[in-house]
Amino acid sequence: MTNPLFYAKILLFGEYGIIEDSQGLTLPYSFYKGTLKFSDLDNDFEKKSNQSLEKYSNYLLDLELPVEYKLDVNSFKNDIAKGLFFDSNIPQGYGVGSSGALVAAIFEKYSFTKREPDTISKNELKDLKMIFGQLESYFHGKSSGIDPLICFMNLPILIESKDSVDKVSIPAEELGKGAIFLIDSGTIGETGPMIQIFFEKLKNEGFRKTLKEEFIRYNNACIDAFLRKDMNPFFKNLKKLSVWAYEHFRPMIPENLFNIWKKGIDSNAYYLKLCGSGGGGYILGFSKDYEKAEKMLEGFHKEVIYRF
């Protein structure tokens, strides 16, 4: 029996804000995926992955989880000894949930209690998010649990607040001129150091104030307008969000993207925002006229993730 595939995720809105109780909107991205497999471990990638799983299984042995969320760590360890590895093309350090997909795959396979995403209630989602946070903390020091939750559910999720998440429907794609797309910065982003910078910034009262009064307001307005498919207020707030990030998230914006970030704001041809913690990896782009934006962003590798 083949193990299920777990897709990457994209945090469309809510980066950093969700730490301070803003809303967030996140979707699965099937272009990248991973699955647990067995092999003879005769290449470096498989060998490294197997060794990483071994280290992770030791972390799981010491983790105290509630009975209904316990994992069969002994079976996991036996499978690792038989050549288990995580076969994934999800780029690491790109903000698209490489560790989230791994955690979701392990939870799905080794959880004593099997769960069907379709039947999971809103209350259970809240508990799962907390459990996934503990499971993923091994990789980032502290995790909200959102990434593995998305990867496990394979559905768009609305983060309503720190303690409340729900399944949500996003508007159906249309073959229009507009697009949401990813831009590859060409460098890897480290989540840990970026989150450190953010927490340092939070110590500044002025930054905390503008985050709460401006960033969170624009962020939540974008989510609301996007889900209602109301594109005028969506782009109006998106511009404000992009300007705010340009001014306040400078350390998180990859250096080679500073100029094109500003160019988008000045020309109104497209707007950029962080995809996850930033520092490298992917950046998100939004444009009402993707062809025009594409010409202006020549030389950068781009992937369209949603058309409207």
Q: What pLDDT, in 10s, does the model give residues 288-303?
A: 999 999 999 999 999 9
Tokens of 299: 């030389």
Q: Are 42 and 183 in a shared domain? A: no
Tell me whether residue 37 is in a domain: yes
Q: Name the domain boundary from 147, 167, 187.
A: 167
**109, 90, 13: which is closest to 49 by C-alpha?**
90
Answer yes or no: is pLDDT of 210 > 80. Answer: yes
Question: Are 45 and 149 part of one and the same domain?
Answer: yes
The reply to whether 102 falls in a domain is yes
Q: Which residues pair with 88 in a beta bridge?
A: 34
Q: Cite the DSSP H helix spans in 111-174.
A: 122-140, 146-153
In a shared domain, residues 146 and 63: yes
pLDDT at 87 over 90: yes
CATH code of the domain covering residue 114? 3.30.230.10
Lookup: tokens for 140: 């980032």
Is residue 1 over pLDDT 60? no
Q: Is residue 203 assigned to a domain?
A: yes
User: The domain containing residue 272 runs over which residues?
Assistant: 179-307
- One domain, residues 123 and 226: no
**Which carries the bigger pLDDT value, residue 144 or residue 158?**
158
Do 184 and 276 belong to one domain? yes
Give residue-wise pLDDT tens across range 213-235: 999 999 999 999 999 999 999 99
Do 163 and 190 fall into the same domain? no
Q: Which of 43-47, 200-204, 274-278 has the lowest mean pLDDT?
A: 274-278
Backbone angles phi, psi at 257, to 5 degrees: -110, -5
By the 8 A CB rule, do 186 and 255 touch?
Answer: no
| Residue 49, domain member (yes or no) | yes
Q: Strand, coil or helix: what is 81?
A: helix
pLDDT at 2: 67
> Are 60 and 132 members of one domain?
yes
Task: Provide the CATH number for the domain around residue 210.
Answer: 3.30.70.890
Higher-pLDDT residue of 274 and 142 is 274
Domain boundary among 136, 167, 198: 167
Name the domain boundary from 112, 139, 167: 167
Is residue 172 domain-resident? no
Q: Is there a single domain that holds both residue 28 and residue 163?
A: yes
Q: Are residues 13 and 157 in the same domain?
A: yes
Mark 174-192 as b/e (b = at least 16 C-beta within 10 Å): eeeebbbbbbbbeeebebe
**Does 243 lie in the same domain as 216?**
yes
Cα torsion 264, 156, 193, 186: sign: negative
Question: Do residues 98 and 191 both lie within one domain?
Answer: no
Average pLDDT over residues 257-263: 97
- Is residue 44, in this structure, part of any structural domain at all? yes
d(CA 211, CA 143): 20
Confidence of residue 153 (pLDDT cuts 50, 70, 90): very high
State how many domains the chain has. 2
Return the SS3 of 14.
coil
- With H, G, I as helix, E, B as strand and everything else as coil, classify residue 243: helix
Q: Which token pair is 96?
A: 């698209």
Q: At residue 141, does pLDDT exceed 80?
A: no
Q: Are 40 and 70 members of one domain?
A: yes
